[in-house]
Amino acid sequence: MSAAPSIGRRGLLFVLSSPSGAGKTTLAKRLLAAEPGLALSVSATTRPMRPGEVEGRDYCFVAGQTFSEMVEAGDLLEHADVFGARYGTPRAPVEAWVAEGRDVLFDVDWQGARQLRESALGDDVVSVFILPPSIGELHRRLVARNADAPETVERRMAKARDEIGHCPEYDYVLVNTEIGESEAGLRAILAAERLRRTRQTGLGAFLASMA
């Protein structure tokens, strides 16, 4: 008796968004460490490199003219202006990973998430908006980081309120009260979405072999 056809899986775009200070970056790092099959999408940006950052690992740092040329050529899946700098997702590596069945993690704002949903890979997007426990706690976290001037903190708070208004656009919403519980929630979402019927390639042939 011949073996049944194998079932493969198309990769997904796992999109995380949140206001600055809600814990998205920490959760993304924990998720990448816990999920070997998850690749991080490395954005191109026009902002200067910060101490400790590595070209190609944290960002692809490009000049403004180069970024504009990438936009014009359609080489970016999404792009946005954030606090005076430009950020965007190179198209080619993401398309290759998804076709290979590998999942890709995105750390983008609501504008980027919307563009990803409207792109050719929109059906592969699974989006999660991460909320802080309260607006007061978000302010406390931003101040405690001691990385920004008071006026910058207030600007980030104003932006956060606008960003939170876009959470109904997302597939899932997660309140980040405790980091371990939030990580477990993200992993549960990822596990369920990997098993979605429409994402399984070769399922039709497999079912036909069962008849």
Note the pLDDT tens digit of each residue in 79-89: 988 878 999 99
Q: pTM for the full model?
A: 0.86
132 near 19, Cβ under 8 Å?
yes
Closest C-alpha among 171, 89, 174 to residue 132: 174
Q: Report CA torsion sign: 155, 29, 78, 194.
A: negative
What lies within 8 Å, CB to CB, of 69 at 6+ separation is none
Confidence band for 103, pLDDT divided at 50, 70 and 90: very high
H helix runs in the chain, sequence order: 24-34, 64-72, 91-99, 110-118, 135-144, 150-164, 179-194, 203-210
pLDDT on residue 157:
86
Structural domains of the chain sorted by starting position, each given as residue range(s) with its CATH number in brackets: 9-41+102-210 (3.40.50.300)
pLDDT confidence tier of residue 155, bands split at 50, 70 and 90? confident
